[in-house]
Chains A and B, each alone.
Chain A
Amino acid sequence: MFQIPRFRKLCFSDFPTRGLEDTVIQEAKQPTSTVEKPKRRRIRIWSYVDSFFWTIGYLWTAWWLLLFLYHSVPVPALHQAPESPGTRLSREGVKANHPVVLVPGIVTEGLELWEGRPCAQGLFRKRLSGGSFTDIMRRPLCWLEHLSLDSETGLDPPGIRVRAVPGLVAADYLAPCYFAWSVLIENLAKIGYEGKNLHMASYDWRLSFHNTEVRDQSLSRLKSKIELMYVINGYKKVVVVPHSLGAIYFLHFLKWVETPLSHGGGGGGSGWCAKHIKAVVNIGPAFLGIPKAVSNLLSAEGKDIAYARDLAPGYLDSELLKLQTQEHLMEMSRSWDSIVSLLPKGGEAIWGDLDSSAEEGHTCIFPKRKSSQPSLNVLHRQNISVKPVSCVKQPTKYGRIIAFGKRASELPSSELSTLNIKELARVDSTTNGSTSCGEFWSEYNEMSQESIVKVADNTAYTATTVFDLLRFMAPQMMRRAEAHFSHGIADDLDDSKYEHYKYWSNPLETKLPDAPEMEIHCLYGVGIPTERSYIYNLATSSSKCKSSIPFRIDGSVDKDDVCLKGGARFVDGDENVPVISAGFMCAKGWRGKTRFNPSGMETFVREYKHKPPGSLLESRGTESGAHVDIMGNVGLIEDVLRIAAGASGQEIGGDRVYSDVMSMSERMSIRL
């Protein structure tokens, strides 16, 4: 505060007229020769400050001028926006018919603070995520503390209440100007949707699905909302549009709602879904989990689940503030049960074993991926001219989700070291863990160096064994989360153990409800390289203390091949969810009358080929296939609108497949 007056003086003291006259007088009075020297110096000092001000003023004026011009230019002159699907369909006479419920996915949804620690003063009912994120910058540790959950219970830590934002505002924009649902909502509104027949089922995406009901009664509220919308819209069934994690959440809901109250369900009775739901239109569903979740839990290196890191990479990654940011982020994401729900499901039967996988023979050509990854583009051009033989010749072993070292990822399985991870003793190693890191909670501190080396010695883990690895690395988290989620395949779906809620969100361990008229759609983007497996190495311990994360993705592993880049192998997908996870259930697991789909409801696969935006003006493009950007894809929006207006899956064109999801699904041997 003391500086303001001084600064003011600096700025303005000579500005009033009296001062001006004074200087003139003084100048006139004093003989020029004597004053010349000190004055010179003064002038020089002044001119720096002045030119500084001048530049800033100049920039601002220019900026204002441009802004003014921008506002005065009529909108159509700037860009001729193509007609939105909503306008076109409403002209065709498509009208709002079935009520629509949107179920947002992980991270896209906003959370707001209801009760916090003193450090979060003034943030009451302000967004902690899904807003402008300014508070991450201002008080990062406070932010982390409030978004973390209790590591024992997976519920609120004492004294902190962070809740989902309700209503459509919850997930229309992820950050200012970065749309999530708003384009879809706007198009729905054009054919007549509004508050009474459009609902956003927001829930706290950090919690396990069962806990959202325990703490917030989110499932009960969703049930009541669907029943209400069914009634007030003239008994028309509801179209549900889940996205990403929302797809598994809604799967959980379908099972929950028909389970009797005495078993911890919603007590809707069998037939509830048949009565209330017309179609479930899953956008980019992660039905069988995503490999990214593994890397995220092992080393906090998944890309958009640990999105906070993406947003401020330089800031958060730097150790300037001694923040150990990555460790903090990992701790935070490990306290979220929902991440565990995204771990690959179905084990080796789905994701492949040490030697083979369903994607075998996948050629890594992504012709449409142009501007967003220039390096790939170059490679791809070379590939085209030389013909991509190398890829086909040596099948990539996608089944090894985690491999330690590049050798381990390519060796025949017989040469890999066999290790029974369950037998490894967890040595209490508090003595050799350095104390400077002691304040920071990480379960890695409890592990001995030898066991870490053993774990990482020339080994590879498949989708089944990777759970042993995770259980070994993070026992507390897995204990907590595995009470809520299961990742296997059921042998006998009528086994009474499958009545437990932990199986409800796994499509391979639940039956779909008895609703033969219901439709399930899988809409997802293809044509973008999507992480499928990783090559890890042991982290070189940092100078200060033993790094609490002993493994890192080996970013140096690279090949003249788009399949392997920066330590990760890629397959076709929408940047987050591989095709197999998004499409398999609709393509095979639920197709026709199977044991997972006893009533034989119809399923449809609709793929959208990724096409990067043609110019900067298009911003995120209208034909994107990327996980979140696909919500602005005109083709997808049109399909959703038509379904909402009453069209069936056949009427919008049945299956539309670009990837080889059908043949991949055929290759999987799963009893149906």
Chain B
Amino acid sequence: MPLIHRKKPTEKAPQPEEEVLDEGSQHKHHDSKTHKKSNNGIEKVKWSCIDSCCWFIGCVCVTWWFLLFLYNAMPASFPQYVTEAITGPLPDPPGVKLKKEGLKAKHPVVFIPGIVTGGLELWEGKQCADGLFRKRLWGGTFGEVYKRPLCWVEHMSLDNETGLDPAGIRVRAVSGLVAADYFAPGYFVWAVLIANLAHIGYEEKNMYMAAYDWRLSFQNTEVRDQTLSRMKSNIELMVSTNGGKKAVIVPHSMGVLYFLHFMKWVEAPAPMGGGGGPDWCAKHIKAVMNIGGPFLGVPKAVAGLFSAEAKDVAVARAIAPGFLDTDIFRLQTLQHVMRMTRTWDSTMSMLPKGGDTIWGGLDWAPEKGHTCCGKKQKSNETCGAAGENSVSKTKPVNYGRIISFGKEVAEAQPSEIKNIDFRGAVKGQSIPNHTCRDVWTEYHDMGIGGIKAIAEYKVYTTDAVIDLLHYVAPKMMARGSAHFSYGVADDLDDPKYEHPRYWSNPLETKLPNAPEMEIYSLYGVGIPTERAYVYKLNQSPDSCIPFHILTSAHEEDEDSCLKAGVYNVDGDETVPVLSAGFMCAKAWRGKTRFNPSGIKTYIREYNHAPPANLLEGRGTQSGAHVDIMGNFALIEDIMRVATGGNGSDIGLDQVHSGIFEWSDRIDLKL
């Protein structure tokens, strides 16, 4: 075996001579090879390629096993030790810290996961999903996305008429704490909070994950799975088995809206509601600690529904961007994803609520004067200082214009904009693109005339955006508006507000009559968050979606809020501060018409601090929408409330952003 002969110690080889002999080496190499051939026989030479290949694989395997062995033999505390050596001693996790203070598990805790983070598993499927029974389709490794993408899309979609299961497919929420502790392996959602609560004595009997199918509209989760009934029964059970101590509810993201819906549902009389009676919440709930709650919706949802370009509503796209975006398999992937997300009613619960009153009109917005700091500025003070200087030179951003066609329009004075109303425009019969027929996006129903009309309207404020979506996707919005509403109530006692579609809109419902209950709004700040978009008409023939975000719209200035066609404001990367904080900062503060019993509200903001180095993973001071669940300060707050603390024990409001100032600018009858 020639390979073996070549393996000899090299140390003795004299360095200078190597260069001298360089030219001749090729020749000699050849010589020695032929020499060996004659020695060892020709058969062996034929073998050598496979042999060396095997040799190499074996070597890699052995090395791998050896490293694995070393890794396993390593004491469990070793990684921690290394981390401590590099970054200095870590702060005690809140669980350990509070245990030392002597805090003990007291109130039962209920988690309500948000959109996307809850796992879904298959209970009944088509032929192509053989062998996936009770395997996760959503969450986990997402292995099936790669293996059988079309099958996966088919199973994850709902029926686009009813918003319920398609025939022959049953995909259900995973139940228990495992439903949302980790979204994907190693990517925690609730796991850190659960682990810390366990330190002070929580376990399965006083912690409960209210998993629900987040694709459905809220009322449909009750119709199909009786999820709300199960949640009610579980909360009642936990309260009674824990000696009558009221529950602390911890919803996250869309779970916040879901729980708002639940509170209204549970006290409503039986056929529509849960029949718990008018004091059910007062009897069973101690506090609601909303984490990153999009009370008033998120502008991202608009972009998601309009052109499937929002980032984490269509997470599927982010998970496998290269794969899904390519047209190698002629999959028209983006369109498939869009078709899938459009069958999910829940995405419509996140559309901006409150219209122009909340989100601003053509020429004003509550966040007026907000300056965005460049990413390079880290501490808050420099950002504020720079902000004052730059106000003069950068033009104020018109956040009220959620969608504008073209950058000029986005910046123009209101008087200069000529809107040609699209609402009455004839859609026209000509179909712009035939290949998109099999993809259900409703755009092919619209015709060139309709598309033109949309682009000519130029600027859309929040109210107009809802109309726009009604125009662009009439079927979807018809289904959605049976379940959700986006307005502001004039008279909350109007009997029409007893319909379930209003229950998840905080501006169209009253909070329950529970004066002792507390509502917290905990969210991260200090991350640029999408607030308004610059769009353009997409004329290219091979695309099924005629609109795209104008990614070239960019401001040279480091401090500009306009990045790649998106205007940013302060927030937690997904939810703008206004949406997360307004209800607790103003609309529910004190006794208002939305909060007739005067439930106490608190705002707790957490300034985002990115992890200092890679070893910290996703950081313990993050303010990002999901990563905030690992924020030690937030966990500590939750634990203090769970062990019996109230708002004043954890320090009342904690505000970093301009939420109070912005709230004051909103003119809403209270």
Contact = CB atoms under 8 A, between A and B. Distances in A.
Contacts of A168: 134, 175
B63 A7 contact: yes
A232 B54 contact: no
Interface stretch (A18-26, A359-367, A491-499, A628-636): A18-26
Interface stretch (B5-13, B384-392, B616-624): B5-13
B452 interface: no
Interface residues of B, dominant DSSP: helix
Contacts of B66: 3-4, 7
A166 interface: yes
Interface string B18-34: 10010001001101100
Contact of B6 (A24, A58, A60, A169): A24
A1 B241 contact: no
B70 A185 contact: no
Contacts of A167: 175-176, 178
A55 interface: yes
Given A21-B18, A114-B203, A224-B233, A39 B134 contact: no
Given A54-B58, A166-B176, A21 B241 contact: no
Given A23-B8, A228-B230, A75 B130 contact: yes
A446 interface: no
A115 B66 CA distance: 32
B10 A23 contact: yes
Interface in A106-123: 114-115, 121-122
Given A25-B13, A25-B18, A166-B204, A50 B176 contact: no
Contacts of A166: 176-177, 204
Interface residues of A, number: 70
Given A24-B28, A194-B123, A46 B7 contact: yes
A54 B63 CA distance: 13
B76 A122 contact: yes
B67 A21 contact: no
B195 A124 contact: yes
B237 interface: yes
B59 A224 contact: no
B197 to A, nearest CB: 10
A25 B70 contact: no
A3 B67 CA distance: 10
Contacts of A312: none
A321 interface: no
A11 interface: yes
A14 B8 CA distance: 7
B4 A43 contact: yes
A13 B230 CA distance: 64
B517 to A, nearest CB: 23
Interface residues of B, number: 67
A56 B203 contact: no
Contact of A4 (B5, B18, B67, B175): B67
A121 B76 contact: yes
A57 interface: yes
Contacts of A14: 6-8, 10
Nearest to B191: A125
A23 B58 contact: no
B311 interface: no
A233 to B, nearest CB: 8
Nearest to B195: A124
Interface in B1-57: 1, 3-8, 10, 12-13, 17-18, 21, 25, 28-29, 31-32, 51, 53-57
Interface in A1-49: 1, 3-4, 7-8, 11-14, 18-29, 39, 42-43, 46-47
Contacts, number: 177
Interface stretch (A214-222, A336-344, A574-582): A214-222
B229 A228 contact: yes
B61 A60 contact: yes
Interface string B649-665: 00000000000000000
A305 to B, nearest CB: 25
A53 interface: yes
B67 A57 contact: no
Contact of B58 (A1, A12, A53, A196): A53
B77 A25 contact: no
A196 B211 CA distance: 12
Given A7-B63, A54-B51, A195-B172, A60 B58 contact: yes
A558 to B, nearest CB: 43
B371 to A, nearest CB: 44
Contacts of A28: 28, 31-32
Interface in A456-512: none
Contacts of B470: none
A659 B46 CA distance: 68
Contact of A20 (B6, B51, B57): B6
B532 interface: no
Given A4-B70, A14-B7, A39-B8, A55 B13 contact: no
Contacts of A23: 5-8, 10, 13
B6 A217 contact: no
A19 B58 contact: no
B467 interface: no
Nearest to A55: B58
Given A11-B63, A27-B32, A232-B226, A217 B241 contact: yes
A19 B25 CA distance: 13
Nearest to B233: A228
Nearest to A217: B241
B124 A190 contact: yes
Contacts of B175: 167-168, 195
Contacts of B72: 138
A57 to B, nearest CB: 3
A256 to B, nearest CB: 14
A52 interface: yes
A186 B121 CA distance: 13
Contacts of A121: 76-77
A81 B172 CA distance: 27
Nearest to A194: B123
B124 A220 contact: no
B55 A42 contact: no
A161 interface: yes
A42 B226 CA distance: 75
A660 B134 CA distance: 41
A1 B53 CA distance: 27
B205 interface: yes
Contact of B25 (A24, A185, A217): A24
B5 to A, nearest CB: 7
B237 A220 contact: yes
A54 B60 CA distance: 11
Contacts of B28: 24-25, 28
Interface in A407-462: none
24 contacts: A11-B63, A14-B6, A14-B8, A22-B10, A22-B13, A22-B18, A23-B13, A24-B29, A24-B32, A27-B8, A28-B28, A29-B17, A50-B1, A53-B56, A54-B51, A56-B57, A57-B59, A57-B61, A75-B131, A124-B198, A163-B204, A166-B177, A167-B178, A194-B123
For the complex of A and B, 6 pairs with smallest distance between CB atoms: A57-B58, A53-B58, A57-B54, A57-B57, A56-B58, A22-B13
Interface of B: 1, 3-8, 10, 12-13, 17-18, 21, 25, 28-29, 31-32, 51, 53-59, 61-63, 66-67, 70, 72, 76-77, 123-124, 130-131, 133-134, 170, 172-173, 175-178, 181, 194-195, 198-199, 201, 203-205, 225-226, 229-230, 233-234, 236-237, 240-241
Interface of A: 1, 3-4, 7-8, 11-14, 18-29, 39, 42-43, 46-47, 50, 52-58, 60-61, 75, 114-115, 121-122, 124-125, 138, 161, 163-164, 166-169, 172, 182, 185-186, 189-190, 192, 194-196, 216-217, 220-221, 224, 227-228, 231-232
Given A54-B51, A75-B131, 10 more contacts: A3-B66, A7-B63, A46-B4, A53-B54, A161-B203, A189-B134, A194-B172, A196-B225, A220-B237, A232-B226
